[in-house]
Amino acid sequence: MKKFSIVFLALIALLAFTVSPVLAASGILILREARNDPSGGVIFVFEYTGDFSEADFKGGSAMLNGQYYPLDCNIVEGEGLVQCTASRALAGGLVQVFLAGSIFWDKVPEGGRGGYCYDVYDFPAEGQPAAWTFQGEHCQDEPASQGDMINFYSPFWESYYDYYFEANGLEWLYGDPSTNPGEGYYYEGSES
């Protein structure tokens, strides 16, 4: 009987150790999105249910290539969401995210809104200096291809115009040395 009691107590103790982490969990945390904010850093959006507190979302980090980057997390009141910002150095990387005792893997997009951003140029209105002029940035979900078209507002013409994507070759905007739009850009076509 004494042997049975010792085995029984040992099994109960073992069961208590294996169940306690599950019972201690505050709820469910799901990584919904990783994005690149053009005006800030990398943003991770989590959805949660259960009894999480602000303290649970402090001290999180994201790891890329063995280097840890801190997360600054805030609860979105009434929506069951947590938004965490991190360094732009994570852009384009496959990262491991540690938050509230959970671990996630995700790929952070390279570009900003929509993932891929390109400069938009227009030749100015009459009376303006004759040079290509930066109009703004256009972001989209997929990489642009030669000849893609967008409809974009031009402050010079005060209207929306069609702009065509051109993959950058050796010439910048038809030889205008004052511009350097990167790997590709949209340029003014015709009025829509």
For residue 3, what are the contacts with CB-CB under 8 A and spacing of at least 6?
none
Contact predicate 64/95, CB 8 Å? yes
For residue 21, what are the contacts with CB-CB under 8 A and spacing of at least 6?
none
Q: Mind listing the pLDDT tens digit for each residue in 35-72? A: 877 666 788 989 999 888 889 999 999 999 899 999 99
So what's the pLDDT on residue 21?
30
pTM of structure: 0.48
How far apart are the C-alpha atoms of 118 and 137, rounded to whole Å?
Answer: 6
How far apart are the C-alpha atoms of 152 and 70, rounded to whole Å?
Answer: 37
So what's the pLDDT on residue 14?
41
Looking at this protein, which amino acid is placed at residue 5? S
How far apart are the C-alpha atoms of 63 and 136, rounded to whole Å?
Answer: 33
Low-confidence stretches of the chain (pLDDT beneath 70): 1-26, 38-40, 111-115, 125, 128-130, 141, 168-182, 189-192
Closest by CA to 162, choosing from 119, 191, 130, is 191
Tokens of 110: 């390279």
So what's the pLDDT on residue 69?
93
Looking at this protein, which amino acid is placed at residue 9? L
So what's the pLDDT on residue 30?
92
So what's the pLDDT on residue 19?
30
